[in-house]
Structure 1
Amino acid sequence: MTDLNDTCGVSATASQLRCGFAALVGRPNVGKSTLLNTLLGRKVTIVSRKPQTTRHRILGIHTLTGAQIVYVDTPGLHRQENTAMNRCLNRTATTVLAEADVAVFLVDALRWTQEDEFVLERLTPFANPVILALNKIDRLRAKQALLPLIDRLSGRRDFAAVVPVSASRGINLAALEAEIVQQLPNSVAYFPQEQITDRSERFMAAELIRERLLKTLGQELPYASTVAIEAFEQEGRLRRIAAVIWIERRGQKPIVIGHKGQRLKQIGRQAREEMEALFGAVVYLQLWVKVREGWSDDERALGLLGYAEP
């Protein structure tokens, strides 16, 4: 096989290589981010049991023999658009769909909800192939239980393929990728072979802190919190990071900080440990908690905090 070009390092010619964008779409908390991390064998997007964990478009690049799949993890599509944040998340997911070569519609094999119905309706104008991926099959006692759901959904849309999977266990993911590759156009590779994501360490640092917030605070803090990196300095294997946790009300501040600052210290320590494992570096992390009233329902504030994505 000949080299594709000197910069990408993918061993295939343009006529031999299939390359394109695969959008992962579905309702909130259905397992899209878990699926992406498992497919790549590396953490590129944060996960939690809370809806709206994913707030940005994140690329995950998987280079295979003869193919390069550029996965696009999207915020979960949801019917409620009562805040600027909700509208922003839906815009991000919809924009990704408009540019994808194939969509992977991920649903929970255990239950179909009105949110799933909403996503299926939003897929109606999508002219490119859609693959239906039925997630969490490892939790099914009898695989025959999938048949009624498959029959019902197959009557709603002509899916390019229907693939039962388990994102968390890695079950049947090779079959899913094989179906995705079949739908991609012939093209040169978009990214170098060794590149895994388009996101920087700076971005991942903010996301890992936010993930710790979601997991540590549980139901105590609403989703009206975000993280902004104020400083990110790299000195060899050392990262000096300063970050601000933004919340919406003063009453939320003691919830985040905790008694004598213990909760904030815990969040910082766990986030730092995750960063060190991901970056392969020593991390010095400083955290502050600040209030910006109503930021999640303020378009201008969202833009300043990094949510105004094309």
Structure 2
Amino acid sequence: MEQKAFKAGFVSIVGKPNVGKSSLMNKLMGENLSIITAKAQTTRHRIMGILNGDDYQVVYSDTPGILEPKYSLQEAMMNYVKVSLQDADVILLVVELNDRFEDPHLERFRKFTTPIILVVNKIDQAKGSQVTDKVAYWKAALPNVAEIVPVSAKTGENVSDILEKVKARLPEHPPFFPQDEFTTRSERFFASEIIREKIFLNYSEEIPYSCEVAITSFKEAEDIIRISAEIYVERESQKGIIIGKAGSSLKKVGMEARQDMESFFAKKVFLETRVKVADNWRKERNKLRQFGYLE
């Protein structure tokens, strides 16, 4: 029996903020690699998930939501999107039911020659013929799109259809990564992202966007992982909000993060957190370099 040719390639998951890209990435991977909140711009980095099969390797990239950058952090975030699109063998362009092609962030995709699979997300919210109408709309608006797949990343509906459509468009190529790897990111990175997710879920307004998390110590023993983390804010007044009355708010974030870490790492976790001020870190390139956004 003739053996199938091995296929491998990079798949960029892109779209505007809050269209459900990270939920889609997690469903495609079967792992919670990307943090998810209801707030826009939760994703700040390019997060790769490596999906391995007998005759394929798909390297998915979850990217920040496409926007017009207003300060240095957002410029760095949009650079992740740019690099991801340059690397891509296939693009998953994620839109939601109410998105329209006239958006300048979507118009650029008419010029792409890389195969585009357009994913219409949130169909669990659709009414009447809305899904059928949207598929027809996008076929007319973006005629260069190779496939249109209506899905619900929340419920998982139709998400499994995407893999076969991606595989059909991957080039024949040896695997890019060892086939027992599922991400290029470190355990430290995921620890920091879990804490940052809890900050997004527990605080409102500008506070989550002003925070960055740095893991200062990650020591793994046979039965426990001991983690020390520093949460940075931009102003002294924000430090008090993060900590809360008698440390209650910070304690809640730490408890929720520890529980998720224990599930993620499948091991008992001891988590220690401190809050520090890094003035206007989102706008200063040297601080962005310190936090790993710039080389």
Deviation track 1:160-206 (CA, whole Å, cap 9, x = no partner) reads 10010111111111211111111100111223333221111111000
Aligned pair partner of 1:95 in 83, 108, 122: 83
Contact 1:97 1:126 in 2 (8 A): no
Task: Tell me which amino acid in the other structure corresponds to 1:52.
Answer: Q
Aligned pair partner of 1:218 in 197, 204, 213: 204
**TM-fit CA distance, 1:42:** 1.3
Task: Tell me which amino acid in the other structure corresponds to 1:244.
Answer: E
Task: Tell me which amino acid in the other structure corresponds to 1:89.
Answer: M
**TM-fit CA distance, 1:86:** 1.2
Indicate the residue corresponding to 1:56 in structure 2: 45
**TM-fit CA distance, 1:257:** 0.3
The reply to whether residue 202 of structure 1 matches residue 188 of structure 2 is yes
Indicate the residue corresponding to 1:280 in structure 2: 266
The reply to whether residue 126 of structure 1 matches residue 112 of structure 2 is yes
Moved over 3 A (4+): none
The reply to whether residue 112 of structure 1 matches residue 110 of structure 2 is no
Contact 1:78 1:118 in 2 (8 A): no
Indicate the residue corresponding to 1:9 in structure 2: none
Give, in whole Å, the separation in 1 of the partners of 2:227 and 2:7.
39
Give the SS at the match of 1:123: helix
Give the SS at the match of 1:233: strand
Aligned positions of 1:246-265 closer than 5 A: 246-265=232-251
> What CA RMSD, in Å, does the superposition of the two structures yield over aligned residues?
1.8
TM-score (norm 2): 0.94
Task: Tell me which amino acid in the other structure corresponds to 1:53.
Answer: T
Task: Tell me which amino acid in the other structure corresponds to 2:89.
Answer: D
**TM-fit CA distance, 1:138:** 1.4
The reply to whether residue 145 of structure 1 matches residue 147 of structure 2 is no
Give the SS at the match of 2:141: coil
Contact 1:237 1:280 in 2 (8 A): no
Greater Cα shift, 70-79 or 152-161: 152-161
CA 1:88–1:271: 2 relative to 1, 3 Å: same
Unaligned runs of 5+ in 2: none
Greater Cα shift, 234-243 or 152-161: 152-161
Aligned positions of 1:285-304 closer than 5 A: 285-304=271-290
Give the SS at the match of 1:155: helix
Alignment size in residue pairs? 294
Deviation track 1:17-70 (CA, whole Å, cap 9, x = no partner) reads 221111000001111111111112111111111111111111111123422211
Give the SS at the match of 2:45: coil
Task: Tell me which amino acid in the other structure corresponds to 2:50.
Answer: I
